[in-house]
Structure formats: structure tokens, C-alpha cells
């Protein structure tokens, strides 16, 4: 059993929607962010996915979320930079951070876009073989967010609003310290540490020299810390698929068990040429989940835990999972809600009332 002390509890939602009802899906995901805030979660994250029934523009979605919430951190995991223009994305992210009063966290990844060949000229303005999809693209985004003046001291932009020195606007102080890198290999882990990005690790990693995801991720954390060069303390957030069954009815519990069973085979051996390791889903009673988390040596090395929600569940199931984790699981890991009003509430039934009142 490991010594565990979680001081930041987050959740990551896929933001799925029916193909013929995207608005309804977005609204329910926004509602889930509000419920998460009412429950006392420290941050709420959304996956950014392309060509799927999901949130394809995290910045746009989080701008809306910033107006539905007041306290909870807002995150995207991850934005694949191969699809993005580092200048335009910086403008969008800075705008959202300003609108949210500095609550934005952005997870990033490098590499050529997975669907680049399919998209072709819909995405690329030039031969993709000539485009730099390396980590340098991620660094360009950070530089665009740093508030640097463009040109020299004699460079100005003239407009109807007047004469100003140019820089990527708006400038969002502190946002560059809230950039994360989603890494799953030793190479990407080392790069993130060496270049001062916070670290996101989750339930998928690469087996380099081991078939055990725990050994792989512990070694990755050691590597990350060994290459960290910044004066500030790095943030490391661990993601796990956690589905408590305590608050679910019998039919829902069966669906949860079937979900875990369908994904179990992939956890038994490394998958594919890249030796991808999948972490087993944590599905069961809160007591069972707590025991397994306390036995996870990776969790013992971090203070931030991210609950990764399954795809395509009804809103009521997502709410039940969030409630069970915050009331039955997280307290056993040392976590307490920062909001004193939330900490005074005692039952799952009471917690969402606060969000409902705020929406009136």
C-alpha cells in the first residue's frame, strides 16, 4: 500500500453527442461542468477530438464553460498541435483564459495529425511533408502566449483604435505556466520535463523495457523530474478510468461491468509494434476502487488525480460517477474540497442542488 495524498481532483469528459443533436450534447456537457463545480472538483477537462461526435474545438467550448462556472479550473486534454495554427490558437486560448479569470489549463501533444491524409487540402495549405509537426510547434504556441512584443521598439500597428505596439493579444499572464504535455513515452516525457511543461499521464502508456504499466509510469516520472529545469515546482496529473457502482442501480451496474469486461483483454499484454500498455479500468464498489488506488505506486508519486469518464454514457450516469467519487473515493485518498460551502454538505443528494440554484 502506498502513501497517497491527493490535493487536486479533476475529471475529464469526452463530450460526446448524438450525430443529429450536437447542441443537446454540448449543453449536457456544460451542465456536467457545473455539477462538477458544485461537487467541489478542482478542475473539469474536456477531450478535443476531430472527425468524431465530440468537442472538436476545446477553446470554443471552454469559453462557454467559463460563463457557466465561477471557480472550477477548465482544461483541454489534449489539443493535437498538428491540426493547429500556433498563432491563431494562442489568440483563442488567451481569450478564454481572460474570460475565465485565469482558470484555463491546456494539454498539448505534438506530431502529424492522425487524419491528415484523409483531410488532405481541407487541412493543409502546403505539402505536409514540408510542415514541421515536431515539438517545436508546441514551443511556438507557448512563445505566442508569452506576451512578447513583435518586431523592434519602432514597430507599431495602426488602426482605427489608434497606434499600438503589436503582440499576440490578449495577453493572459500566467497561462504559459498552465500548459501541459500529454506524454506516454520516455522520449516525450524527457522533452516535457526539459522544456518546462506540466505533465499529463493517463491510462495508456508505452512499455519500454517492461510489460507492467506501473513500472513504466514510475520510471517515466523519475525521468521527468530528473530533466525538470524550471524554478517553479512541476505539476503532474495522473488519469485513471474510475467508475464506482455504489450509487448506480442494478441495470447500470451491469452495464459498467460489461464496459470493463470488453476492455480487459487489451490490458493483459503490450499491444502493437509500439508496445502500448493499457491500464485496467477501476470499476466496482468505492471500497474496491480505493484499495486498488492505494496499491498503485504511480498514484503515490503525484498529488493530482484526473477521473477519466467513459464515452457515451447518459448524463445521469456521469453525475452518479462524479458524486460517488467525490463522496466515497476521494476522501479516502486525502482529498478535501477547497470550497468550504461544498465541504459542509454531507450527502450526494445535497451536492447538485447548489448548481441547480446557480442556474436559476
The total number of structural domains that make up the chain? 1
Domain membership of residue 55 (yes or no) is yes
| Mean pLDDT for the stretch of residues 116-129 | 91
Mean pLDDT of 24-52: 98
Collect all residues with Cβ–Cβ distance below 8 Å to 276 and sequence separation of at least 6.
Answer: 204, 205, 206, 207, 270
Maximum distance among all alpha carbons in the chain?
A: 70
Measured distance CA(107)–CA(68) in Å, rounded: 21
Nearest CA to 105 out of 149, 65, 148, 54 is that of: 65
* 1 domain-assigned: no
Q: 54 exposed, middle or buried (CB, 10 Å; 0-12, 13-18, 19+)? A: buried
CA angle 203, 206, 208 (to 5 degrees): 140
Give the per-residue pLDDT at 349. 53
d(CA 63, CA 61): 5
Q: What is the pTM assigned to this prediction?
A: 0.93
Strands 157-159 and 162-164: antiparallel
Q: Which domain holds residue 216?
A: 8-158+165-359
Per the CB < 8 A criterion, the answer to whether 203 and 278 are in contact is: yes
Residue 3 lies in a domain: no
Look up the CATH number of the domain holding residue 259: 3.20.20.30
- What pLDDT digit, counting tens, does each position of 9-37 carry? 999 999 999 999 999 999 999 999 999 99
For the chain, first and last CA: distance in Å? 45
**What percent of the chain is predicted at pLDDT more than 70?**
94
Amino acid at each position: 500500500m502506498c502513501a497517497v495524498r491527493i490535493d487536486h481532483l479533476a475529471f475529464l469528459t469526452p463530450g460526446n453527442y448524438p450525430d443529429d443533436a450536437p447542441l443537446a450534447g454540448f449543453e449536457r456537457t456544460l451542465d456536467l461542468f457545473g455539477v462538477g463545480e458544485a461537487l467541489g472538483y478542482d478542475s473539469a477537462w474536456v477531450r478535443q477530438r476531430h472527425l468524431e461526435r465530440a468537442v472538436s474545438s476545446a477553446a470554443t467550448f471552454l469559453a462557454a464553460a467559463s460563463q457557466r462556472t465561477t471557480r472550477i479550473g477548465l482544461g483541454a486534454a489534449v489539443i493535437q498541435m498538428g491540426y493547429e495554427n500556433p498563432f491563431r490558437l494562442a489568440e483563442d486560448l488567451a481569450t478564454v483564459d481572460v474570460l475565465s479569470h485565469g482558470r484555463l489549463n491546456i494539454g498539448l501533444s505534438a506530431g502529424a495529425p492522425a487524419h491528415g491524409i484523409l483531410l488532405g487540402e481541407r487541412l493543409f495549405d502546403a505539402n505536409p511533408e514540408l510542415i514541421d509537426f515536431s515539438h517545436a510547434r508546441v514551443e511556438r504556441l507557448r512563445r505566442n502566449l508569452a506576451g512578447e512584443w513583435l518586431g523592434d521598439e519602432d514597430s507599431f500597428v495602426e488602426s482605427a483604435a489608434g497606434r499600438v505596439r503589436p503582440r499576440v493579444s490578449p495577453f493572459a499572464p500566467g497561462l504559459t505556466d498552465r500548459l501541459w504535455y500529454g506524454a506516454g513515452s520516455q522520449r516525450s516525457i524527457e522533452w516535457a520535463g526539459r522544456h518546462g511543461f506540466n505533465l499529463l499521464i493517463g491510462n495508456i502508456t508505452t512499455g519500454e523495457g517492461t510489460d507492467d504499466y506501473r513500472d513504466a509510469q514510475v520510471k517515466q516520472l523519475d525521468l521527468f523530474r530528473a530533466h525538470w529545469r524550471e524554478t517553479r515546482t512541476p505539476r503532474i496529473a495522473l488519469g485513471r478510468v474510475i467508475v464506482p457502482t455504489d450509487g448506480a442501480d442494478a441495470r447500470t451496474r451491469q452495464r459498467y461491468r460489461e464496459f470493463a469486461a470488453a476492455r480487459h483483454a487489451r490490458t493483459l499484454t503490450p499491444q502493437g509494434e509500439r508496445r502500448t500498455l493499457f491500464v485496467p479500468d477501476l470499476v466496482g464498489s468505492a471500497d474496491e476502487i480505493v484499495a486498488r488506488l492505494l496499491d498503485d505506486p504511480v498514484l503515490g508519486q503525484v498529488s493530482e488525480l484526473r477521473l477519466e469518464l467513459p464515452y457515451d454514457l447518459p448524463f445521469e450516469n456521469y453525475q452518479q460517477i462524479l458524486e460517488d467519487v467525490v463522496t466515497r473515493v476521494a476522501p479516502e485518498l486525502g482529498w478535501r474540497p477547497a470550497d468550504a460551502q461544498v465541504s459542509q454538505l454531507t450527502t450526494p443528494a445535497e451536492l447538485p442542488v447548489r448548481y441547480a440554484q446557480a442556474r436559476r
